Chain A
Amino acid sequence: MTMRVEPIIGRYGHMEIEGRTHRVYWEEAGEGVPLVCLHTAGADGRQYRAVLNDPEVTAHHRVIVFDMPRHGKSSPAPGTVDDAYALTSDAYAAQILAVCDALELDRPVVMGCSIGGRIVLHLAHRHPERFRALIGLQSSDHVAPYYDTAWLHRPDVHGGEVCGAVAYGLMAPQSPEAERDETRWHYMQGGPGVFRGDLWFYKVDGDISGQVAEIDVAKCPIHLLTGSYDYSCTPDDTRDLARRLGVEMTEMEGMGHFPMSENPERFLDYLRPVLRTIREG
């Protein structure tokens, strides 16, 4: 019997984030220009399994995917498991900078999806000199609340079931069923209150609509790609953001809110040219 082994390496690193020591899990593959990938709210780094496994990407990039604290294999910092969790822009940016510093990354490319697509705008606003380029997937400057997120974390509703059901609907019906199942499973495994806590950043604290005009894309290029089926961040939301930033946006046909995870092969067709442009830039 033979076994196919993926080229991905997973490790734990101990690092300080906002004054606390965290044990952070990350996966990586490849060599070259660092490419840090940020998962969506309530999920983990498994969403980027195809990017980490793509020979064309890893031939040119050191792809790094970390699980945010409280997500995937990165447990809450010691003594904080019962703390109320609401992700802020400051905390999220601090996590990304801590990982980049700990791994001694020189002007990495950062690609984020959903909340990750929002925080790259904050990075562009606060620290443009630290990044070679930023890629926003499902990226908008704000989102108006459209359902009561309290349903995602209450004792009489199974958090894994309801979070998985929300994630299910954010995907395109055309995406392969096996990949959609994998994607919603990540949500079904999330810790209590984590998805909801992340959405505090997405819907409240991370609203950057008032600062978009202050982002200088000449200091750090921004690339925006959004799936046509996403109703949380619609193509029109990204189009509006792109117009105000003065950059192009690409609408990814037949994909939803989790392009890299729900339809990985198709997503790579969109990503590879963007990475080529960044490398040649």
Chain B
Amino acid sequence: MFAGLAETGGPGTPLALRGRALDARMMLRAGAGGSGSETLVTIRAGAVILVEDGPLVMPSWDFAISAAEEDWALFLRAVPPPGSHDLMALLKRGAMRFEGNLHPLMSNLLYFKLLLASLRPQPETAPEATA
């Protein structure tokens, strides 16, 4: 679900420039408990340098963002519906949870909102724009 972050947030991307002062390890969880999936995202100088899908042995992370798989799917739609278009919208309706040391997240809040939203399908480029 989150493998694309290595490309959309990798070295040299606008996101890496935006987060240039940031080093963090973010755990992303989809689904609950043992039946859910987990993905560890390592960020260095704002660039996503590693995306590791679980199961992970003794993972170490700064903060975790967790939501049900269907709620992640709503957030990741090209045009998400109301209540799912922003991380804090999901937080407000109790569908998402932030845990751990939230300082890297809250001091780079727009970076993380845009990073995760970067996995949304992009609008198709108009043919004349590619000519």
Contact = CB atoms under 8 A, between A and B. Distances in A.
A156 B109 contact: no
B5 interface: no
Interface stretch (A86-94, A121-129, A157-165, A273-281): A157-165
A156 B102 CA distance: 12
Contacts of A165: 109-110, 113
Contact of B92 (A151, A156, A232): A232
Number of contact residues on A: which range applies? 20 to 34
A168 B106 CA distance: 14
B85 A158 contact: no
Contact of B107 (A162, A168, A232): A162
A173 B87 contact: no
Interface in B62-117: 79-80, 82-83, 85-89, 91-93, 102-103, 106-110, 113
A156 B105 CA distance: 12
B86 A169 contact: yes
Contact of A169 (B87, B93, B102): B87
Interface in A153-205: 156-158, 161-162, 164-166, 168-170, 172-174
Contact of B89 (A157, A158, A169): A169
Interface of A is mostly: loop
A172 B113 CA distance: 14
Contact of A229 (B82, B92, B113): B82
Interface residues of B, number: 20
A231 B110 contact: no
A172 B80 CA distance: 9
B92 to A, nearest CB: 4
Given A173-B79, A173-B80, A231-B92, A157 B86 contact: no
Contacts of A157: 103, 106-107
A230 B102 CA distance: 24
A162 B109 contact: yes
B107 A158 contact: yes
B79 A174 contact: yes
A169 B85 contact: yes
Interface string A202-236: 00000000000000000000000000111110100
Which of B83, B89, B102 has the most chain A CB atoms closer than 10 A to its own CB?
A: B89
Given A147-B91, A231-B93, A173 B85 contact: yes
Contacts of A172: 82, 85
A6 B21 CA distance: 40
Contacts of B86: 168-170, 231
Contacts of B106: 151, 157, 162
Given A173-B80, A174-B79, A231 B109 contact: no
Contacts of B89: 169, 231
Contacts of B109: 161-162, 165-166
Contacts of A232: 92
B109 to A, nearest CB: 4
B92 A146 contact: yes
A160 to B, nearest CB: 11
A188 to B, nearest CB: 10
Given A156-B107, A230-B82, 9 more contacts: A146-B92, A147-B91, A161-B108, A161-B110, A162-B106, A231-B86, A231-B93, A232-B92, A234-B82
10 contacts: A146-B92, A147-B92, A157-B106, A161-B108, A165-B110, A166-B88, A166-B109, A170-B86, A174-B79, A230-B82
